Structure 1
Amino acid sequence: MRYDAVVVGAGFAGMYMLHKLRGLGLSVRVFETGDGVGGTWYWNRYPGARCDVESMEYSYSFDEELQQEWEWTQRYPSQPEILRYANHVADRFDLRRDIQFETRVTGAGYDETANLWRVRTDRGEHEARYLITAVGCLSAARIPDFPGVGAFRGPSYHTGRWPHEGVDFAGQRVAVIGTGSSGIQAIPVIAAQAEHVTVFQRTANYSLPAWNRPMEPEYAQWVKANYPEIRTTMRTSVNGVMSTFNETSALEVTEEDRRREFETRWAKGGASFLGAYGDIAINPDANELTAEFVRAKIRETVTDPRVAELLAPKDHPIGTKRICIDTDYYATYNRPNVTLVDVRAAPIEEITASGVRTADAEYTADMIVYATGYDAMTGPLLGIDITGKGGLSLRRKWEAGPRTYLGLMTAGFPNMFTITGPGSPSVLSNMIVSIEQHVDWIAGCLERLRADGVATIDADPAAEDAWVEHVNEVAGRTLYMRANSWYLGANIPGKPRVFMPYVGGVGAYRSRCDQITADGYPGFVLSP
């Protein structure tokens, strides 16, 4: 079949892209591996899965009636509620008729003679003028190559590929490997059900309290009444959320004032804590003052001093790895049925038939939960065999790290767009804000190209080089480079250490993209 556009993925990006392209009168086909919409929120059904952006801000803004009609039930939305919202959107805009579910895109090659993308799936081949990837930044789940992974006799689960029917932990001895965001959300819920939980931690992570609660109707009404101003604030902010950002330096105030500000933000909960002072992300001294406040909170919460010190991060500045938002995470280690194992001191050597063996001991388990993260940002794209002009493969082009212009296109791959790709704010922002911005930009670009009789658009290699240099330069001004994070690909052996998202902020990035549109797409090569 031939279409004007093929979209890969039916998460929030793919659904909105389909809606926008339909509005332009284009024929569109979306291919989705799962049997339903929702992307991240379709796959990540692990216990405790919850968004770390507040409900009233984690929603589409493109349709006023949709904004007003949907009722969120909690301050921070849970995975089931977000999935219900995604299905509501799919039904409301009749999106499913153009989505082919249970279909994996295995490859795509650009035909230079016909100016077409030939897209291969596990259920047939298709052609399209435009190829748009909406594969998500955190969709390539990864289990480390521990020796003996296949030897374990009990069930094993990855948080990013959780069974739809759920898992019963009652009476079970559970090994949880990993203490990133998904582990921090899942561990308290598992511990409340299981006979015993053994947590294997390689790296302690900073986590801030969510203080989640039922949605207050008065607050929801206020937000809905003020959505125009609120959405504008979000789109022009640093990270795409509504929280206030204090530009004052943490070093310019008294210790008493600083503690008061930290305590106020801690009591409010959520990631807005990191907006307490303007230099937390760039000044090591300001960052350390912030980090020590959080470490003190951990020590106040965890009754065993040895466990508290293991949970208190000391090897990276706060905020330079994905900040976690939790409900009772640290308090969970006060439970008698929870054991913390430091695998930095005694690494995991083998998964055995009966559990996990470290350099120091073997821990028996009835089931294993891998909260070991993803091959972030590039993994989902490089998992598809994509070849551009001259037979150049994306894997080869990106073998030293991803290269894009604005995170939207990569030179040598005409008419292929990436939604929230490397080089854009993406994972450092409210994802739906960044998704809408990218989708709107791509749709506007295609409308303009068709009106002007332009057959292909491609990134100019020189502009791409300049943008990659700019992304690295901005990241280099911050403390992000001091952490071995998945932002740098540090969780994947052999992956190039390149800072992938754009740190410059959602508002500044949007202005740059809008200016490029207004100026007639400088940095892109247009062919009639």
Structure 2
Amino acid sequence: MTTSTDRATSVVDAVIIGAGFSGLYMLHKLRDELGLRARVFETGNGVGGTWYWNRYPGARSDSDSYIYGYTFDKDLWESWEWTERYPESPEIRGYLEHVAERFDLTMDITFGTRVESATFDEDAERWTVTTDSGETVTADYVISAVGALSASNTPPFDGIDTFAGPTFHTGHWPHEGVDFTGQRVGMIGSGASAVQATPIIAGQASELTVFQRTANYIVPANNGPVDPAVKAERLKDWAGIRERIQQSNFGFELYLQEKGAAEVSDAEREALLEDFWNRGGFHIWLGGYADMFFTTEANDLVRRFLDRKIREKVDDPETAELLVPKGYPFGCKRNPLDSGYFETFNEPHVHLVDVKSNPIASITPTGLRLEDGTEHEFDALVLATGFDAMTGPLNRIDIRGRGGALLREKWAEGPRTYLGLMSHGYPNLFTVTGPQSPSVLSNMPVSIEQHVDYIGRIITDLRSRGARVIEPTEEAENGWCDYNQEIAHATLFPTADTWYMGANIPGKPRTFMPNLDFVGPYRAKCDQIAANGWEGFAVDGEATPAGEHVYQWAVAG
């Protein structure tokens, strides 16, 4: 059943914040499957979420296209054909526009509108949501579908506003595009966005200088058209693919090796890594050796192979050495996919500057100055400086729960959630793929579908029993937070300064923000929690304690 919600309606069952992958499916779930009145507020002027804004040159998914979409509907699965192994940003937006049209979703989405606050009324047991347009809406449920990587980060460089030329952030690229032909371009950053953008900008600019703080391990994408026979087989295997990715570790059809890197011979390890390197994608990372996430000895064995591959691709030994990562283990930092990044530095007009040993002192009207006084001049500045990940998008909204408690203050020392789904003191507030869920350590559409389905399950159960509110108990939340850090510190992940740890944002607390339960085990845990009467939650004040299984790690050992 499809029930349109009048745009002027100020009282609805649910408010959804964001119209990307999460928001679109959440709207379909609540409105079309559960028959509820729901409204979506989206800052952009179209659907797409993160992909609405990420239009920088070369922006594309690093998940294989056949699994980078919804699987909840077989007809939808069969209605769309991707053109490449890794779809570009325009094609992903086209896909989401196709989904919105197919399910007639835009009638209940208010575009060009930012949610500024959400306040829980304890007497009415409802949320009041206000927007930057001055609209006020009340709802039983608020669902944050803001995404993990939607709050762009611009470091507080001295003089950032003094540069005379145009400045572009990869996370908010002009929709009309940018032509750098004949220009001298300075790019600050060397993460995933920079890896994708660098070869394309270098193909236009008369000179490109990349200012690198941290070198990245980058593996080949090997992107291109997919064999028609492979596409046909996948199209027929909707049920099998859906089942496998839902039960997998990372939401991919990739599986870690039974033996560790330190348990096989040098020849066997070399052969496997070479094979995975040539296949492209995340095979080395998410289908490689499990022990590399746990011991430096095993990690070093894999790093040796990757270091050699970088040196083979880059002609100048000094530049190659700058591009070889140092000081952190492979696999514990987001692993970008490469489509000519390393080779770009073989071009005479492309330069690499190390700003870890010689940091940026200030942005100037003509470029930037390093701490040793070296001046670099350029005509345009590109900030590939990433995002205030996971907590940033939520912290930018004034969210107040019981007693007027501000969520960003509660999270001042790091996120505090149960299952990455809810936070104690904020009844009926759900976070799709929020911090402390697998989220960014998975193929996002798979985790998004699981969370949306779970939220739908919770709301259905509440309404069937006539209950008003649900929230985690403080004890369950404390246990989940401790558990998240305990399992993270059993690995090498916390040893790397990454945005997983909040290390890219000055002053942000260092705490591991994703969850390492992995996709399949996390799903099973959530299902068991539901089957046991919503363990760790209080429904209308009646709490069910969380069992020991909630804090048991399936990956242990």
1:238-249, aligned counterparts within 5 Å? 238-249=249-260
Amino acid at match of 1:216: D
- Within a 5 Å distance, the mapping from 1:9-28 to structure 2 comes to 9-22=18-31, 23-28=33-38
5 Å-filtered alignment, 1:395-474, equals: 395-474=408-487
The corresponding residue for 1:138 is 149
Q: Give the corresponding residue for 2:55.
A: 45
Query: What's the C-alpha RMSD, in Å, of the aligned pairs?
Result: 0.8
The residue correspondences of 1:178-327 to structure 2 (distance < 5 A) are 178-274=189-285, 275-327=287-339
Name the residue aligned to 1:505: 518
| Aligned 8 A contact 1:376 1:489 in 2 | yes
Letter of the structure 1 residue corresponding to residue 463 of structure 2: R
CA distance in 2, matches of 1:126, 1:252: 59
Amino acid aligned to 1:201:
Q
Residues 489-504 of structure 1: pairs in structure 2 closer than 5 A: 489-504=502-517
Runs of 4+ aligned structure 1 residues displaced above 2 Å come to none
Cα distance, 1:177 vs. partner? 0.2
Residues 74 and 238 in structure 2, CA contact (< 8 A), matched pair in contact too: no
Number of the residue aligned with 1:336:
348
Cα distance in 2 for partners of 1:382, 1:453 equals: 32
| Structure 2 CA distance for aligned equivalents of residues 525 and 229 of structure 1 | 36
Q: How much does 1:228 deviate?
A: 1.1
Per the TM alignment, residue 244 of structure 1 is displaced from its structure 2 partner at its CA by 3.2
Does residue 1:168 correspond to 2:168, yes or no? no
Per-residue deviation at 1:276?
Answer: 2.0
Contact 1:237 1:507 in 2 (8 A): yes
Distance in 2, matches of 1:115 and 1:429, equals 34
Correspondence for 1:86 among 96, 104, 118: 96
- Structure 2: 5+ residue runs without aligned partners? 1-9, 542-557
Deviation at 1:278, TM superposition (A): 2.1
Partner residue of 1:381?
A: 394
Q: CA deviation at 1:356?
A: 1.3
Query: Within 1, Cα distance between the matches of 2:497 and 2:339?
Result: 25
Tell me by how many angstroms 1:507 deviates: 0.7
Count of aligned pairs between the two proteins: 528
Distance in 2 of aligned mates of 1:252 and 1:241: 25
CA contact (8 A) 2:419 2:437 kept: yes
Rounded Cα–Cα distance in structure 2 between residues aligned with 1:37 and 1:285: 46
In the alignment, does 2:363 pair up with 1:351? yes
1:353-412 Cα offsets, whole Å, 9 max, x none, are 001111231111100000001100000000000000011110111111100000000000
Q: Shift of the alpha carbon at 1:229?
A: 1.4
Q: What SS does the corresponding residue of 1:298 show, helix, strand or coil?
A: helix
1:75 is matched with 85
CA displacement at 1:104 relative to structure 2: 0.3
Q: TM-score, normalised by structure 2?
A: 0.94
- Among all aligned residue pairs of Structure 1 and Structure 2, give the percentage whose two residues are the same amino acid: 53
Which range moved further: 276-285 or 71-80? 276-285
Gapped regions of structure 1 (runs ≥ 5): none
Distance 1:211 1:522 in 2: 45
Distance 2:163 2:506 in 1: 23
Instruction: Decide whether the 8 Å contact of 1:247 with 1:279 is kept in 2.
Output: no
Equivalent position SS for 1:487: helix
What is the CA–CA distance in structure 2 between the aligned matches of 1:206 and 1:140, rounded to whole Å?
A: 24
Contact 2:249 2:255 in 1 (8 A): no
Distance (Å, rounded) in 2 between the aligned partners of 1:2 and 1:215: 47
**One of 126, 142, 156 as aligned partner of 1:116:** 126
Residue 233 of structure 1: CA displacement? 1.2
